[in-house]
Structure 1
Amino acid sequence: MEMPSSTASYQPVTVKKPWYKQLYFWVLVAIVLGILVGWLWPSTGEAMEPVGTTFITAMKMLIGPIVFLTIVGGIASVADLKKVGLTGIKALTYFQVGTILALLTGLVAINIFRLGDGVNADVASLESETTDSANKLIVAGEEKKWWEFITHLVPDSVFGPFVEGDILQIIFLAVIFGVAINAVGAIAEPIQATVERLTAVVFKVLSFIMKLAPLGAFGAMAFAIGKYGVGTLTSLGSLILLFYATSIFFVVVFLGSVMAFLRLNIFRMLGFFKEELLLILGTSTAEPALPGLMRKLEYAGIKKTTVGLVVPTGYSFNLDGAAIYLSLAALYIAQATNTELSIGQQLGLLAVMLLTSKGAAGVAGGGFIALTATLSTLGTVPVVGIMLIFGIDKFMSECRAMVNFIGNAVATLFIAKWNKELDVDRARRVFAGEILPPPEGEVENDFDMEVLEHEPADKHHRAGEVLSLNKECGSRSIEHERLDTTSSGNSSRSS
């Protein structure tokens, strides 16, 4: 009799979670509750600041290790290092083109609507109204040079970037270590295996922290509304509205065109990333959503090497939302302070922004510092003019971060297509919400569905096999006993 195979294929059962059990629903509820608490009880809303900042800090704690381990593991496992270099060059090229388009979009929008005309802001009075927190950002921006992001790439120590959370320096270290492990060869295989194991552990820790996302979103939103008030939204509502409308236009028209070229639907992609987008809306920063972006892109069928290199680099160099904000804000301040800028000066402003936007990547108040650095470098627009938008910057940061996030998702898909690595059919099905097995067993989809744990499932599967074997062995034992009895009976009669 043929023995049952112990290696029979087994697929874990996957069922869609009800909408009320999914993370995005509870994050959305938390955001609404945070707005109500901050609006109705401002002092209570302000007191919620530690809740939001603790969650964001916990997420940022893992960003450095995730970026480092992902890049090192990806580069170390690649057979052709030249391909990694080409992928980096392609990504940087795409980032620059995307940033230029975003800057031009903001520039055209503010030139058409000219919201700063008629404000007639007095520079002298703005200087007297400068707060301590705003003054610190102004000083930081004035001291920052456009070329600093190049020299800043090399860290002072190996552990410094992880302590300070400097993503650019972590990427630099990760690329060097990944290339070194790849170049050493077989002797570094234990290190590569350790990197893979550490990556799995860090992502498991991340899954624990993500369960607190609704609490973090509630605290951050309650504090923002309680601190700055709904009145701040209405005072410069036209500028906020223009920024959001321009950002939506950029996402739908420009990024949507890139997705159409890839034969994918941008709206379905946005639905696929709804949890991450709501998390960004609640916390006003894109950093907590970075791990989810990387894992979901891998699940959509993009190679881990491409995701690990393009996404972290894009978080520093592909800031479409920040680019729109910079051009809108700079021209608004110029118009509000009656500073006339020619077309040539505006284009020069964009050229400086291409560099200053990278220099402030990953820095607290980075958008404001980049804006200050741009105005200081140009010298024609008064730097203290940033006080005109200082109060509403908090409410523009959500949109800024979401556009940055969406831009990096589209960029990674485009680079994967450029490398001929994108499984368009799989990506289309995943974006549509179809449940698929992980590609090549690399990732588990634990984002919007319930996946049974492999160990218990395997145990039940193996238990069935053991029972089958026991039954078979039992039947064989009985058969042997019958044969023995028959043979002994025959022997007795013969004797």
Structure 2
Amino acid sequence: MAGTVTIPEGKPKRKVGTHWLYIAVIVAVVLGIAVGLIFKKDAAGLATIGTAFVNLIKMMIGPIIFCTIVLGIGSIRKASQVGKVGGIALLYFVVMSTFALVLGLLVGNVIHPGDSLQAAGAAYEVPKTPGSGNFLLDIIPTSLLSSLTSGSVLQALFVALIVGFALQAMGKKGEPILNGIASIQKLVFKILAGIMWLAPIGAFGAIAGVVGNTGWSAIAALGMLVGVFYATCLVFVVVILGALLKFTTGHSIFSLMYYLRQEYLLIVATSSSETALPRLIAKMEHLGVSRPVVGIVVPTGYSFNLDGTAMYLTMASLFIGNALGTPLSGSEQISLLLFMIIASKGAAGVTGAGLATLGGGLASHRPDLVPGVGLIVAIDRFMSEARALTNFSGNAVATLIIGHWVREVDNDQVKRVFSRQDPFDDTDMLDEHHHVPGTQEAPKKVLVTDESTPRPHAAV
């Protein structure tokens, strides 16, 4: 009997939190270590699972590089249009992220993470790399589209730069194309996020294979990398950023960190700095930095001031080279550094983007090291908190410093807040939704001041 079927409206589906992925990776790593230690060489074949996961990541590298670079150039154009603050912010971000990359290389060359794996006989046989060997010829693709399918990261980067600057020259006529590429980027990152749910399986295979081959030395080497990375991030925030903040503004990094303590806990719980961005905007405004400066520096820094990610990329690259028995030469490190300065921009807050960028850098300079990304998969989630905390701290410090440079900071208010005379009121946070750079603007939110006067809150 035909009739109309009424489907009752149910409750909206709850998203599965990424903390479950974190837990799954931890469980997979523990199981992989156990399998490797128990079955030893018989577990070496499980490394194929890790290789398959790395190949899935490699599949996404070209589109990710293309979209992030094209949209990144568009963001630079927009940031430059706001004048003095945007220009100073961009220059500061480039200098600090480059410094973080160099620091990662220096620490990696001093500590030599991964050497114990090399000593244990985990050397990797270097395969023949495609191309003519001529950099100038190899960077030019057969066609614009072939750069995204050939697997050459340098070609994808080259075409992305051409397209980005061409769209920049088109002005407003190029905005629909930029919006289209932004939509493609959302699709690409959505696919990548789905792939990352296979990370526990990939981590299990990678860690079981390497532990089966090398035993306890693999566990020690991976643990050393995590420990050294956390220590480097701590030194960068407390010593480097702390000294810069003290010298520039006279304020203590510890006062700022205490003021942002709730945001740090939120980041540790979610392994992502983007969750604290709306609160960072509100708190920096409450601290005394003018709204225009906060509205420019924080969203731009979210894409361009990724100090923790920068150190992660260089230290992980050196670790992989040492672990596979073919360390990066000095010239290769410098070349990789230049690549990372460009490629590390624009992928903040996206699960798996760090691994994709790492794989892209290695694929463009040392394709033989790409399989080693499987080693990093096993510990990537352990390093994500340090990356996120460092990125967040870098943006908070940058906002205060740049505001001081352009004289848009109420220093009396800063002193009152840091002395706890004017604490931040969490009830002022009326809307926890925020806007991610590169997407359409979110609705304005209202932040209530001490004078109970409603004012529009800058969207991120």
TM-score range, shorter chain: 0.5 to 0.7
Residue 260 of structure 1 and its aligned partner are, at CA, apart by: 0.6
Residue 400 of structure 1 aligns to which amino acid in structure 2? R
Residue aligned with 2:388, SS: helix
Q: 1:272 to 1:149 in 2, by over 3 A?
A: farther
Select which of 223, 243, 252 maps to 2:238: 252
Change beyond 3 A, Cα 1:158–1:332: closer
- Aligned pair in 2 of structure 1 residues 446, 312: CA closer, same or farther (>3 Å)? closer
Q: 1:325 aligns with which of 312, 317, 320?
A: 312
> Does residue 391 of structure 2 align to residue 404 of structure 1?
yes
TM-score, normalised on structure 1?
Answer: 0.54
Given the alignment of the two structures, is residue 145 of structure 1 paired with residue 157 of structure 2, yes or no? Answer: yes
- 2:97 paired residue among 89, 96, 99: 99
The answer to whether structure 1 residue 346 and structure 2 residue 333 are counterparts is yes
**1:428 to partner: Cα distance:** 3.0
Q: Deviations over 1:423-456 (max 9, x none)?
A: 2232232134332699xxxx98559xxxxx99xx
Query: Could you give the per-residue CA deviations for residues 372-416 of structure 1, whole angstroms, max 9, x where no partner exists?
Result: 111122236521111121111111111111111110111111110
- SS class of match (1:420): coil
- 2:302 maps to 315
Alpha carbons of 1:224 and 1:251: their partners in 2 closer, same or farther (altered >3 Å)? Answer: farther
85, 99, 110: which is aligned to 1:87? 85
Distance 1:140 1:279 in 2: 38
* Aligned position for 2:288: 301
What's the TM-score once normalised by structure 2's chain length? 0.58
2:117–2:324: 8 Å Cα contact kept in structure 1? yes
CA contact (8 A) 2:203 2:377 kept: no
- 1:328, 1:102 → 2: CA distance? 11
**Structure 1 residue 295 displacement after superposition:** 0.9
Equivalence for 1:427: 414
1:276 to 242, 263, 273: 263
Paired residue type of 1:328 = M
Measured against aligned partners, the alpha-carbon deviations of 1:148-184 in whole angstroms (never above 9, x if no partner) come to 3784586646865886786xxxxxxxxxxxxxxxxxx
Q: Which has the larger radius of gyration?
A: 1
| Greater alpha carbon shift after TM alignment, 152-161 vs 98-107 | 152-161
Name the counterpart of 2:224: 238
Question: Residue 281 of structure 1: CA displacement?
Answer: 1.0
Residues 259, 366 of structure 1: alpha-carbon distance in 2 compared, 3 angstrom cutoff: same
Query: Mind listing any 5+ residue stretches in structure 2 that lack a counterpart?
Result: 1-18, 32-74, 128-149, 168-173, 187-197, 209-217, 431-447, 454-460
Give the percent of matched residue pairs that are identical in Structure 1 and Structure 2.
Answer: 39
Please give the root-mean-square deviation of Cα atoms over the aligned residues, in Å: 4.4
Shift of 1:147: 6.3
2:190 corresponding residue in structure 1: none
Secondary structure, in 3 states, of the residue corresponding to 2:83?
Answer: helix
Where relative contact order (Cα < 8 A, 6+ residues apart) is larger, the structure is: 1
Q: In structure 2, what is the equivalent of residue 391 of structure 1?
A: 378
CA contact (8 A) 1:322 1:400 kept: yes
SS in 2 for 1:389: helix
Specify whether residues 151 and 425 from structure 1 end up closer, same or farther in structure 2 by C-alpha distance, changes over 3 A only. Answer: farther
Alignment map for 1:426-465 (pairs within 5 Å) = 426-435=413-422, 445=428
Q: State the distance in 2 between where 1:96 and 1:326 align.
A: 16
**In 1, Cα distance between equivalents of 2:185 and 2:291:** 23
Match of 1:123 in 2: 124
**What residue ranges of structure 1 are gaps of 5+ in the alignment?**
1-30, 44-70, 76-80, 127-137, 167-222, 448-452, 459-495
| Alignment check: 8 A CA contact 1:276 1:292 kept | yes
State the number of aligned residues. Answer: 316
Please give the secondary structure, in 1, of the residue aligned with 2:115: coil
